[in-house]
Amino acid sequence: MNPTKEEIIDMAKHAVIDLDESAVERIAHEALEAGISPVELIEQGFIEGMKVVGDLFEEGKSQLAQIFEASHIVESGMNVLKPTIMNSKDDVCWFGNLVVGM
């Protein structure tokens, strides 16, 4: 059974929280194959996972190094998505590690 869009996005979020780089890359590929918008995966999956990592740091339940590691992991996932974003007909711009939808 194929996972739903919501399940894939949730898996992306949790892969970031778990600091699992290989899972983030695999899920990015899976999302593209499922036709999920890369920008949607970034916003609802990767960024939401980063927010949780940041919240854990603020609560004293993680260390600053984990935020940097999560950022690196998200960047790996975004590198998988970047060619699709750059070749899309959607109005998006890529500025370094920032993707902006118009």
Task: Determine the residue type at 20.
Answer: D
Interacting residues of 70 by C-beta distance below 8 A, sequence separation 6+:
16, 17, 19, 49, 50, 53
Check if the beta carbon of residue 13 is closer than 8 Å to that of residue 45.
yes
Which segments in the chain show pLDDT lower than 70?
89-102
- pLDDT at position 56 is 97
Give kind and range of the element (H or E) at residue 98. Answer: strand 98-101
- pLDDT at position 60 is 95
- pLDDT at position 102 is 45
Check if the beta carbon of residue 100 is closer than 8 Å to that of residue 46.
no
- pLDDT at position 92 is 59
Total Cβ atoms within 10 A of residue 75:
15
Total Cβ atoms within 10 A of residue 88:
12
